[in-house]
Amino acid sequence: MTDLTELTAVQLVDGYRKGVFSPVEVTRAALERAGRIQPEVNAFVRLTEEEALDRARRSEERWRRGEPCGRLDGVPVTVKDILLTRAQPTLRGSRAVSPDGPWDEDAPSVARLREHGAVFLGKTTTPEFGWKGVTDSPLSGITRNPHDPSRTAGGSSGGAAAAVALGAGPLALGTDGGGSVRIPASFCGVFGLKPTYGRVPLYPASAFGTLAHVGPITRDAADAALLLDVIAAPDARDWSALGPAPGSYTEALAGGVRGLRVAYSPSLGGQVAVRPAVANGVRRAVQRLADLGAYVAEVDPDFTDPVEAFHTLWFSGAARVVQHLRAGQRELLDPGLREIVGAGSRYSALDYLAAVDVRMELGRRMGRFHEEYDLLVTPTLPITAFEAGAEVPKGSGHRRWTGWTPFTYPFNLTQQPAASVPAGTDGDGLPVGVQLVAARHRDDLVLRAAHALYGAGPG
């Protein structure tokens, strides 16, 4: 018998169309799986069984009439508890946020899912205000890795990635301000895409400014393309959103990689120490691209680590997030968040603008780089998942989560599309991710290359 929790969104929609199974059957299976994994993995802030089943029943009736209301009608989805969801509290991983309403508005991406008939299973976990690259918070505790619960799922969209990896819905909405979709996708062995900034509208605006993207976490690139086709629609509430997408991302998948110019950078020019098992997995993925007809050259982009500029922007954003809190509320915050809030509050406007200058120069360099190369390929992370409950790996010498994510946050500074694709496992069975990066507005190339890798065989 088919395990409904193992099917992709594309397969579910095809099954609904053919009458092979129903949205109610699929939703019940997804909810059962979510309830079963929750005690050990802790992927959810809350499950919304009653609402999910009600939406599934209405979807089932629409499919019975042959009148689905959208491209995801009846498909179970989860939403990171950073994004507003109507009639549900959005607590953002914080005890300082009151659950009292009214919660009467959807974020743009959530609104698009609702219009297309998606079934909301629940809200997934996040570190407090999404501030770090692992998922634990004073509100909801530690989210654990689906491959080894003693390890972290990564973050800040850790609950979303763990849920997808374990079959609690094939589609998840995450956010990514410095790697927060790609980090957990890599650690959990699923697909994660940070689209070009503004491709998916965001409201309310993030205090982290134009570093913050909304993106899909899914089983594969085809599901991500389908989800992006739905959520990449303009919304008047986001003044920085892009106009309509240039075409269907799903249709663009068929283009393949033959003839694409691929730059392979194993360590950003020796700036990053990458574990051998990770390097080997990424190298194999690059070889697959070459076998599929891409022109591959080992080339490094021309930039040095922009971490200090990123810290200035990120820590300032954190200070802004909690600026309205009273002293007693601040005592409820994650201690690490309080630390970076203190650092962020000491930056001047000139410090901030100097960081913006670094960002603009990095964007210029990457813009010129992509005049010569269609794609940049790197490891998503230099390591695999480490112990749960820690911001940095034990004994690493890193102070903050940015110490072990040097491949991800630069592309938030530049606003480029970037994805993490599974690329095998290390000796402990923990997933490895390969990162694909393209020029701004070329989300289609990232998805095409990722889809080609999936088609070439399991990573």
Residue 46 CB partners (closer than 8 Å, separation 6+): 88, 122, 123
Residues near 167 by beta carbon (within 8 Å), at least 6 away in sequence: 3, 5, 6, 30, 33
What is the H or E stretch that residue 15 is in? helix 9-18
Calpha distance 185→275 (Å, rounded): 18
Rounded to whole angstroms, how far apart are CA atoms 453 and 28? 32
| β-bridge mates for residue 438, sequence order | 375
Beta strands 136-137 and 141-142: pairing type? antiparallel
Catalytic-labelled residue, pool 22, 59, 140, 156? 156
Report helix, strand or coil for 424.
strand
Q: Is 80 a catalytic residue?
A: yes
SS3 444: helix
Of 241, 265, 278, residue with least CA distance to 424: 278
Instruction: Report the relative pairing of strands 213-218 and 171-176 from DSSP bridges.
Output: antiparallel
Catalytic annotation on 186?
no
Phi then psi dihedrals of residue 136, to 5 deg? -150, 150
Look up residue 157 and give its two tokens: 């969209």
Whether residue 156 lies in the annotated active site: yes
Instruction: Please pick, among 80, 123, 132, 194, the residue that the annotation labels catalytic.
Output: 80
> What does the block give as tokens for 369?
């780089």
Give the relative orientation of helices 23-41 and 158-165 as an angle to the nearest 10 degrees: 120
Find the helix or strand (DSSP H, E) in which 349 lies. Answer: helix 349-372
The sheet carrying 261-264 orders its strands as: 44-47, 119-124, 76-80, 171-176, 213-218, 191-194, 418-425, 431-438, 375-379, 261-264, 295-298
Catalytic residue among 109, 180, 206, 316: 180
Surface-to-core class of residue 343, CB atoms within 10 Å of its CB (0-12 exposed, 13-18 middle, 19+ buried): middle
Residues classed as catalytic: 80, 156, 180
